[in-house]
């Protein structure tokens, strides 16, 4: 009986890197833990790719999807406000409609899970039920987010100007240049919003993370140790990842996969910068030349250049400006590379491409979703971080996990030249160490998700609180 099932409501925030893991978390609650689930997403922000993800989730009949009406934030943020600020404000302004939608629900919810950008929804007073924050990224980001208010007091001046790494109790030190975007300028509104987030996300009964025990044992231990990080978040930590979109149905097959079928095994590098990554015209040209010099087969998802704004396409994912790649790539590039590579404007079916046997490497912006997809496909990476927490991810991938190579200097600080690009691409395509390592990490991620694995058990534990609550309300 539907009414006898506990009902979980999940609030996603804008951006595919948030929506996809929320939908996967929702599906696991349905299929493994017997929940009825409603996912709330914000219609205002939906790019074509997000609408498609929501549409296929709704048509799967596993979940109920509710698109909340657009909140007008134009008078609340500056025209040039950072992506981070825009998302937090949009989530804040969506709370009234979220609240109204919950009150009108036929099946009262017994569990609320809120993407960390929507942390203020955790404080809606009238809804008494277990509430969790969901961080669609890793434990390292969570540790920094929880500790930023302390750093604010301890550190003088801009974080990026420091010579010494930032020390987080019990965690790996954070290099000043790796701090998340909201910490780049302490006078910017996004820094204040980020500090509020660090406190707000702890007003939950627990924090779910898109990572797993064996991937980040040191940071997870610190987050649970009351003498170190747990003093900043006195709530249980549940690593429930890696949550990624599964490979889609065969009938939705793209022509790119037909092209991949014709290429030799392990011969193609996939190049993509997530849903928002953009480059300057100069960098885009160097990338084209670097790929050409590497003489490797490639699929490259390109967007028109935007100067000085690495996340410039974040809110327009999959929407074009009408240009053809030949308008902005170096003259003759498309003709010269037509036998070895495919250039795709704006968007490509990433999970399907990464899991194709012809793909051997991934030049990526290191968004956490892309990172997990690469790991679960056993594909080593060239780490090219651009925005958000991607610099932290890139350092983890190269220095801790040994599954990626990266440019010597951060790509956002200077133009990466074609010779360096050629060298990195060749390296990831030719050497075996990172490939063997990524397969080991892939196996550990798969183990964590299986029945009885650490992430499976962790989600069961979090779900059991909601199931007990559901029973205590007198539900059959
Ligand atoms: N994605 C895709 N095709 C593209 C670009 C991105 O399918 O051309 C998907 C990708 O597979 C991932 C998500 O969009 O699941 C991007 O999330 P991620 O966390 O990597 O980065 P973000 O876009 O949030 O920066």
Percentage of the chain beyond pLDDT 90 is 80
Atom 24 of ligand 1 has which residue's CA nearest to it?
17
115 is catalytic: yes
pLDDT tens figures, 357-370: 999 999 999 999 99
**Which numbered atom of ligand 1 lies nearest the CA of 311?**
25
Residue of 122, 66, 69, 67 lying closest to 93 (CA atoms): 69
| Ligand 1 center from residue 397 Cα (angstroms) | 17
pLDDT tens figures, 95-137: 999 999 999 998 999 999 999 999 999 999 888 999 999 999 9
Q: What is the pTM of this model?
A: 0.96
Atom 11 of ligand 1 has which residue's CA nearest to it?
350
Exposure class string for 366-386: b at 16+ Cβ within 10 A, else e:
bbbbbbbbbbbbbbbbbbbbb
- Cβ neighbors of 197 (< 8 A, separation 6 or more) are 88, 116, 117, 119, 145
Tell me whether the CATH fold assigned to 2-245+444-472 matches the one assigned to 251-440. Answer: yes
Cα separation of 38 and 53, whole Å? Answer: 15
Dihedral sign (CA 462, 463, 464, 465): positive
**Which numbered atom of ligand 1 lies nearest the CA of 137?**
19
ipTM comes to: 0.99
Name the DSSP class of 69: P
Cα separation of 99 and 127, whole Å? Answer: 9
Q: Which among 7, 64, 78, 115 is annotated as catalytic?
A: 115
Please, are residues 263 and 45 in contact by the beta-carbon 8 Å criterion? no
Token pair in block for residue 353:
């491409």
Across the range 320-347, mean pLDDT stands at 92
Cα separation of 421 and 285, whole Å? Answer: 11
Q: What pairing do the DSSP bridges indicate for beta strands 131-135 and 206-209?
A: parallel
Domain boundaries defined on the chain: 2-245+444-472, 251-440
- Quote the pLDDT of residue 308: 82
Across the range 142-151, mean pLDDT stands at 97
Token pair in block for residue 184:
């780049």
Ligand 1 site-directed mutation target among 17, 342, 385, most atoms within 8 Å of CB: 17
Phi, psi dihedrals of residue 89, rounded to the nearest 5°: -65, -40
Maximum distance among all Cα pairs of the chain, rounded to whole angstroms:
70
Q: What angle do CA 68, 74, 80 make, to 5 degrees?
A: 120
Cα radius of gyration (the chain): 22
178 is catalytic: no
**Which numbered atom of ligand 1 lies nearest the CA of 369?**
19
Ligand 1 site-directed mutation target among 370, 383, 397, most atoms within 8 Å of CB: 370
Cβ–ligand 1 contact at 369 (below 6 Å): yes
CATH of domain 251-440: 3.40.50.2000
CATH of domain 2-245+444-472: 3.40.50.2000
pLDDT tens figures, 216-262: 999 999 999 988 888 888 899 999 999 999 998 765 678 999 999 99
């Amino acid at each position: 009986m539907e009414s006898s099932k506990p009902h979980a409501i999940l609030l996603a925030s804008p951006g595919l890197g948030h929506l996809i893991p929320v939908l996967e978390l929702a599906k696991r609650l349905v299929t493994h833990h017997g929940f009825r689930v409603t996912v709330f997403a914000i219609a205002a922000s939906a790019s074509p790719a997000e609408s498609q993800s929501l549409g296929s989730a709704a048509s799967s009949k596993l979940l109920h999807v509710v698109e909340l009406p657009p909140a007008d934030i134009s008078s609340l943020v500056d025209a040039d406000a950072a992506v981070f600020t825009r998302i937090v404000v949009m989530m804040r302004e969506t709370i009234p409609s979220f609240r109204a939608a919950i009150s009108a629900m036929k099946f009262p919810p017994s569990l609320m899970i809120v993407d960390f950008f929507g942390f203020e929804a955790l404080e809606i007073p009238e809804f008494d039920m277990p509430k969790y924050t969901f961080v669609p990224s890793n434990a390292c980001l969570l540790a920094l987010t929880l500790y930023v208010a302390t750093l604010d007091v301890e550190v003088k001046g801009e974080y990026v100007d420091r010579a010494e790494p930032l020390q987080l109790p019990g965690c790996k030190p954070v290099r000043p240049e790796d701090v998340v975007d909201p910490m780049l300028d302490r006078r910017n509104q996004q820094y204040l919003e980020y500090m509020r987030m660090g406190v707000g996300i702890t007003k939950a009964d627990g924090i779910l993370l898109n990572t797993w025990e064996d991937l980040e044992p040191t940071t997870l231990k610190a987050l649970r140790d009351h003498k170190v990080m747990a003093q900043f978040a006195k709530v249980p930590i549940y690593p429930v990842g890696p949550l990624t979109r599964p490979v889609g149905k065969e009938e939705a097959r793209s022509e790119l996969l037909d092209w991949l079928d014709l290429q030799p095994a392990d011969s193609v590098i996939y190049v993509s910068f997530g849903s928002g990554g953009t480059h300057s015209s100069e960098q885009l040209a160097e990338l084209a030349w670097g790929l050409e010099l590497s003489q490797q087969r490639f699929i490259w998802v390109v967007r028109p250049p935007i100067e000085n704004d690495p996340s410039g396409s974040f809110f327009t994912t999959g929407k074009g400006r009408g240009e053809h790649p030949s308008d902005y790539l170096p003259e003759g590039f498309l003709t010269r590379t037509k036998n070895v590579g495919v250039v795709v404007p704006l968007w490509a079916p990433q999970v399907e491409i990464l899991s194709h046997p012809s793909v051997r490497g991934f030049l990526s912006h290191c968004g956490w979703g892309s990172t997990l997809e690469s790991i679960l496909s056993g594909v080593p990476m060239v780490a090219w971080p651009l925005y958000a927490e991607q610099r932290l991810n890139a350092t983890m991938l190269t220095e801790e996990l040994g599954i990626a190579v990266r440019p010597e200097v951060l790509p956002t600080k200077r133009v990466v030249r074609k010779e360096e690009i050629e060298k990195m691409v060749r390296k990831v395509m030719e050497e075996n160490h990172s490939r063997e390592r990524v397969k080991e990490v892939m196996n550990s991620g798969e183990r964590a998700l299986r029945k009885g694995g650490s992430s499976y058990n962790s989600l069961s534990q979090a779900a059991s609180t909601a199931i007990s609550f559901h029973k205590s309300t007198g539900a059959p």
